[in-house]
Amino acid sequence: MENIKAYVQEHKDRFINELIELLKIPSVSADTAYSHDVFETADAVKASLEKAGCDFVEICDTPGYPIVYGEKIIDPSLPTVLVYGHYDVQPPDPLELWTSPPFEPVIKKTDIHPEGAIFARGACDDKGQMYMHVKALEYMVQSNTLPCNVKFMIEGEEEIGSKSLSWFVERNQEKLKNDVILISDTGMISNQQPSITTGLRGLSYVEVEVTGPNRDLHSGLYGGAVANPINVLAKMIASLHDENNHITIPGFYDNVEELSLEERAEMAKAPFNLENYKKAIDLNDVYGESGYVTNERNSIRPTLDVNGIWGGYTGEGAKTVIASKAFAKISMRLVPNQDWEHITELFTKHFTSIAPAGVTVLVKPHHGGQGYVTPIDSIGYKAANMAYTETFGVPAIPVRSGGSIPIVALFEKELKSKTILMGFGLDSDAIHSPNEHFGIFNYLKGIETIPLFYKYFVELSK
């Protein structure tokens, strides 16, 4: 495998340029205005898998956006790695905060990425990280070092809840049969300290609508005499946390697993600097649930956050009005054992019950998914750790992430296999934010590390 370093050095400009071409297609799954581009991106992914050396690649139509499936089966008696990734991206707004247009990728240097980083929507989440696997396959095929079978399943709806993928997985258990699932759609601690994600949070996402009068009213004529839906919504939302920032929905914490002091002490060993954390996002202090530190609040504890809130007049100047309706989008991040559908029910029941007379409340569930935790004594985890240790010179640290990839729990249920989350992004890469980027170092290091995972996974499987 010494040759992988040389291969990456020799081909790195092409690797970067190919990724840049993929990033130019605005595959925003949330907005139907981009629908044509999402389909085009699936075609581009298919072509890249064919070029990299898959024997069979197909576009699988679904009720939504297609899934790109590819495989190279060298010997059915050898293990099979299933690579999952997503080619859809988040909407790029607010556009005015980008320093260069989101779908015109450019390489810029940053403090954290002195070798440069590719700036574009999807650079890290997840086109860049997904494409590392395509290039790793190219290397293994070219150098005749692919030690096992490989299947690729790249979807186009991850950012909107993976509905079609669930549909697809349920119908294709035999085709997707594997010994381990490998995903690069998470992060690591830093470019000096790799980590392997051992947990993901679940998610319940809902939209709420509060309706007062049947039309917008003059706020002088009616103000004080009728319920103002925006005032009421703000009050209802505020009541969802108590003074310790615990969530007040009855039953919400029932299935939350409390970690032992030993486990929490183990977590606290991961390098973390609170001052740098605050500085990176310009905060004078952190905020959260009493009794837990930052690294616990955003990984092993469930949360409730308003993602958007609107209603009434928000245009220029002032308009004196009591709006007929107010709205909010609310997400709850869940921990393993909390069932997202049950939590959605608890939320709905509670939120409806706290509505005062004078308004009506509607809760619309959006999507959700279960959380995930994975043990660190599996062959897959060990193989990933050996791979990182070899390319970074230090072992990886297990870390539970606050983000969600709901499909991972479904993979375990439907395909009965464990997922290894080998992420190469950094928290500072601004995924879902303006100026998303992915370090060139990270991209190339990923391409270098992935073939080692295959090598060690096959060795340990013997």
187 binds, among Mn ion, ligand BES, none (CB under 5 to 8 A by kind): ligand BES
Q: CB under 5 to 8 A by kind: which of Mn ion, ligand BES, none does 161 bind?
A: ligand BES
Instruction: Provide the mask over 61-90, with x wherever binding to Mn ion is found by CB under 5 A and - wherever it is not.
Output: ------------------------------
Span of 2-10, 130-138, 185-193, 263-271 interacting with ligand BES by CB under 6 A: 185-193
Could you tell me which stretch among 7-15, 66-74, 119-127, 375-383 binds Mn ion (CB under 5 A)?
119-127
Is 294 in contact with 324 (CB distance < 8 Å)? no
Q: Which is closer to ligand BES, CB of 4 or CB of 82? A: 82
Beta carbons within 8 Å of 364's beta carbon, 6+ residues apart: 206, 207, 208, 209
92 belongs to the binding site for ligand BES (CB under 6 A):
no
Contact partner, 203, from ligand BES, Mn ion, none, Cβ < 5-8 Å per class: ligand BES
Please list the alpha-helical segments (H only) found in 248-339.
Answer: 261-267, 274-280, 294-297
Site for ligand BES in 193-212 (CB under 6 A): 203
Q: Which of ligand BES, Mn ion, none has residue 217 at its interface (CB below 5 to 8 Å by kind)? A: none
Residue with tokens 């917008």: 216
Q: How many CB atoms lie under 10 A from the CB of residue 286?
A: 13
Per the structure block, which two tokens stand in for 172?
A: 């294709």
Please state, in angstroms and rounded to a whole number, the distance separating the CA atoms of residues 258 and 134. Answer: 39
Residue (80 or 419) nearer to ligand BES, CB: 419
Residue 397, classed as helix, strand or coil, is strand
What SS3 state is found at 47? helix
Q: Which of 125, 179, 429, 436 binds ligand BES (CB under 6 A)?
A: 125
Residue 428 is encoded by which pair of tokens? 């500072």
Determine the residue with CB nearest ligand BES: 403
Q: Which residue, 228 or 299, has its beta carbon nearer to ligand BES?
A: 299
Residue 102 interaction partner, one of Mn ion, ligand BES, none, beta carbon < 5-8 Å per kind = none
Q: Name which of 125 and 448 has its Cβ closer to Mn ion.
A: 125
User: Residue holding tokens 């070899």?
Assistant: 390
Write out the binding residues for ligand BES, residues 150-169 only, by CB under 6 A: 158-159, 161
* Closer Cβ to ligand BES, 24 or 163, answer by number: 163
Q: How far is CA 338 from CA 95, 335, 350, 371, 408, in A?
A: 36, 6, 17, 8, 15
Distance CA 450, CA 150 (A): 12
Cis peptide upstream of residue 126 (ω within 30 degrees of 0): yes
Contacted by 406, from ligand BES, Mn ion, none: CB < 5 to 8 Å by type: ligand BES
Q: 89 vs 140, which CB is nearer to ligand BES?
A: 89
How far is it, in rounded angstroms, from Cα 238 to Cα 241? Answer: 6
What residue type is 164 in one-letter code?
A: S
Nearer to ligand BES among residue 203 and residue 346 (C-beta): 203
Please identify, using beta-carbon distances, which residue of 178 and 298 lies nearer to ligand BES. 298
User: With CB cut-offs between 5 and 8 Å by kind, which of Mn ion, ligand BES, none does residue 404 bind?
Assistant: ligand BES
CA–CA distance from 368 to each of 126, 160, 162, 258, 332 (Å)?
Answer: 19, 10, 10, 22, 9
Q: State the Cα–Cα distance between residues 225 and 232, nearest whole angstrom.
A: 13
Radius of gyration of the chain (CA): 23
Q: Which of residues 356-415 bind ligand BES (CB under 6 A)?
A: 369, 401, 403-406
Q: How far is the CB of 339 from ligand BES (least distance, A)?
A: 16
Angle between helices 127-142 and 440-461 (to 10 degrees): 60
Using the minimum distance from each CB to ligand BES, give the nearer residue, 338 or 401. 401
Q: 166 to 185, contacts with Mn ion by CB under 5 A?
A: 185
Report which DSSP code applies to 259.
Answer: P
- Residue of the chain from 18, 37, 126, 448 that contacts Mn ion (CB under 5 A): 126
Q: Measured in Å, how far apart are the chain's first and last C-alpha atoms?
A: 19
Residues that bind Mn ion (CB under 5 A): 125-126, 185
Residues that bind ligand BES (CB under 6 A): 125-126, 158-159, 161, 185-187, 203, 369, 401, 403-406
